[in-house]
């Protein structure tokens, strides 16, 4: 009898010890997880602050090199801008501008263009290349807008927030984040920086972001963009990407960002190519 009660006491003591150890371990895990979460937030905040500072610095250095890019006094109509952006895909701005003028000057308004067949639109925009694809996107956009809203107008965007506009425009076939964000910046004058291949490549080389796709770059940059920088930052980066920071063999020796750029494959071997290329379609659309 006495032997049994001794065993019970021993089991109880051991159970209590294990329970205490278990609780200590749980407390330790909660403590570590809280610490990690604070570190993660601090790292995120630190990273965002660094990104913001770098955007401000790069914007300043590019303005010193290229100046503040000119803008039209009256912002273009959102439909004009959107169609101009569709025409600008994978071609140079001079040809897409000619295609835009050709289409716009041939008809009274976008209602008339909507009535055309896809092939009739294709004939008018031939010079911009990818005629079948671009005429299809234009025809589909105009027809869907008319069907959904009852008229070809995006005037309701003037009072809408950026997220709503991005969601609405990207719901149309053939319209991506870049085209939608160009409407925000150039037509509605919002502080939003569109990201094309030049902006994606240069911001990654410089070390502003480390991203794999233009859409991810867009998300990162616009999550904390300094006020009033979008137009000059976007426009001057495109010019830098065309003239100096080209996809292959960038001319790093004449780059205004040489001292702040983090790219580890800079071209410093003395071969310098430079050709001025400052014709930007989206600032020409009236």
* Binders in 81-100 for ligand SF4, by CB under 6 A: none
255 contacts ligand SF4 (rule: CB under 6 A): yes
* Binders in 197-236 for ligand SF4, by CB under 6 A: 202, 205-206
E-strand ranges in 68-219 read none
178 annotated active-site: yes
Using the rule CB under 6 A, give the single segment among 32-40, 45-53, 85-93, 252-260 that binds ligand SF4.
Answer: 252-260
Q: How many residues bind ligand SF4 (CB under 6 A)?
A: 13
- Closest separation in Å from C-beta 265 to ligand SF4: 8
139 contacts ligand SF4 (rule: CB under 6 A): no
CB closer to ligand SF4, 150 vs 247: 247
CB closer to ligand SF4, 84 vs 250: 250
Residues near 32 by beta carbon (within 8 Å), at least 6 away in sequence = none
124 contacts ligand SF4 (rule: CB under 6 A): no
Helices first, then strands: H and E counts in the chain? 11, 0
CB closer to ligand SF4, 131 vs 250: 250
Residue 128's nearest CA partner among 155, 153, 97, 154 is 97
CA-CA distance, 77 to 72, in Å (whole number)? Answer: 12
Using the rule CB under 6 A, give the single segment among 77-85, 171-179, 188-196, 244-252 that binds ligand SF4.
Answer: 244-252
Catalytic residue from among 178, 259, 265, 286: 178
Q: How far apart, in Å, are the Cα atoms of 238 and each of 7, 265, 276?
A: 81, 20, 12
The residue from 62, 244, 281, 285 that contacts ligand SF4 (CB under 6 A) is 244
Q: 157 near 165, Cβ under 8 Å?
A: yes
- Cα angle 218, 186, 203 (rounded to 5 degrees) comes to 30
In a 10 Å sphere around its CB, with 0-12 CB exposed, 13-18 middle and 19+ buried, how is residue 269 labelled? exposed
CA-CA distance, 16 to 132, in Å (whole number)? Answer: 77
* Binders in 263-282 for ligand SF4, by CB under 6 A: 263, 266
The site for ligand SF4 (CB under 6 A) is made up of 202, 205-206, 244-245, 250, 252, 255, 257-258, 261, 263, 266
């Amino acid at each position: 009898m006495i032997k049994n009660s001794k065993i019970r006491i021993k089991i109880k003591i051991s159970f209590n010890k294990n329970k205490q150890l278990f609780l200590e371990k749980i407390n330790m895990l909660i403590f570590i997880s809280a610490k990690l979460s604070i570190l993660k937030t601090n790292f995120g905040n630190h990273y965002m602050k660094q990104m913001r500072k770098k955007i401000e610095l790069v914007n300043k250095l590019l303005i010193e090199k290229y100046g503040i890019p000119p803008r039209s006094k009256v912002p273009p109509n959102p439909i004009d801008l959107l169609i101009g952006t569709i025409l600008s895909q994978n071609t140079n701005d001079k040809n897409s501008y000619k295609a835009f003028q050709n289409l716009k000057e041939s008809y009274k308004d976008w209602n008339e263009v909507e009535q055309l067949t896809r092939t009739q639109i294709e004939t008018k925009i031939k010079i911009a290349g990818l005629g079948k694809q671009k005429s299809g996107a234009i025809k589909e956009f105009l027809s869907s807008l008319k069907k959904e809203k009852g008229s070809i107008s995006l005037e309701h965007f003037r009072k809408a927030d950026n997220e709503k506009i991005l969601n609405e425009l990207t719901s149309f076939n053939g319209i991506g984040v870049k085209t939608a964000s160009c409407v925000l910046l150039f037509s509605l004058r919002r502080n939003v920086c569109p990201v094309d291949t030049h902006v994606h490549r240069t911001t990654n080389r410089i070390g502003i972001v480390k991203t794999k796709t233009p859409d991810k770059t867009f998300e990162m940059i616009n999550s904390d963009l300094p006020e009033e920088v979008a137009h000059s930052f976007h426009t001057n980066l495109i010019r830098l990407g065309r003239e100096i920071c080209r996809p292959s063999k960038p001319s790093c020796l004449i780059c205004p960002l040489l001292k702040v750029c983090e790219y580890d494959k800079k071209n410093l071997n003395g071969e310098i190519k430079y050709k001025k290329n400052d014709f930007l379609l989206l600032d020409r659309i009236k």
